[in-house]
Amino acid sequence: MPHKFNPENVELLIGGERVRELNPAQFLIENGLKEGMSFADIGCGPGFFSMPALDIVGDSGIVYAIDTQEEMLKKLMERKPPGNLKAIKSKENSIPLKDGIVDFALLAFVLHETEDGSAFLKEVKRLLRAGGSLLLLEWEKKVEDKGPPFEERIDRGDAWALIEKAGFKIRGVFGQNPSHYQIKAQK
């Protein structure tokens, strides 16, 4: 069974080193998040991507911050986000939102934590509107002093195969930095 990130280490998820490595606002803008969109940060943790997404989507957009861990959602809400952020407690393969309400879904460092990646991705697909975008950000499959252990990381090719199996169209696979890769896909 894959391990979930320990909420006691939440500061690692929003600290300065992570911001320098992955500027969240710039990352989201470069990958197509725009004003007025509905955005789902699935596996949001304390809001590393959710908080900057609020500024990008503006008052006319909405951010669904979704996590399976109540502790993470509490940490997010302690940051006092505006009203267009909806914090949602979910189960791994069951997200309590209507079909087709999201323009853009982000899975940042969560696929390797899932029990059944295929079922999880199908649930994410259900949330997306026709033509909606999926952006996956994951750890490169290599040994490092940071991040999850090597054996828990998911290879790019395996992630690609799971995304295609769930019915997405792959739009590109890119190295984000030496530690991370991203896969862009569309419903």
Give 55-69 pLDDT, tens digit per residue.
999 999 999 999 999
Strand runs labelled E in 43-178: 62-67, 85-89, 102-108, 128-139, 169-177
What pLDDT does 151 receive?
94
pLDDT band at residue 17 under the 50/70/90 scheme: low
CATH numbers and ranges of domains, the chain: 7-186 (3.40.50.150)
Residue 8 vs residue 108, higher pLDDT: 108
d(CA 85, CA 51) in angstroms, rounded, equals 9
Mean pLDDT of the chain: 91
Q: For 158-177, what is each residue's pLDDT tens digit?
A: 999 999 999 999 999 999 88
Q: For 39-60, what is each residue's pLDDT tens digit?
A: 999 999 999 999 999 999 999 9
pLDDT band at residue 10 under the 50/70/90 scheme: low
Q: For 62-116, what is each residue's pLDDT tens digit?
A: 999 999 999 989 999 998 888 999 999 999 899 999 999 999 999 999 999 999 9
d(CA 126, CA 9) in angstroms, rounded, equals 31
H or E element that contains 185: strand 180-186
Structure tokens at 187: 């419903």
Average pLDDT over residues 10-21: 60
pLDDT for 37 beyond 60? yes
pLDDT band at residue 21 under the 50/70/90 scheme: confident
DSSP 10: T
What pLDDT does 81 receive?
84
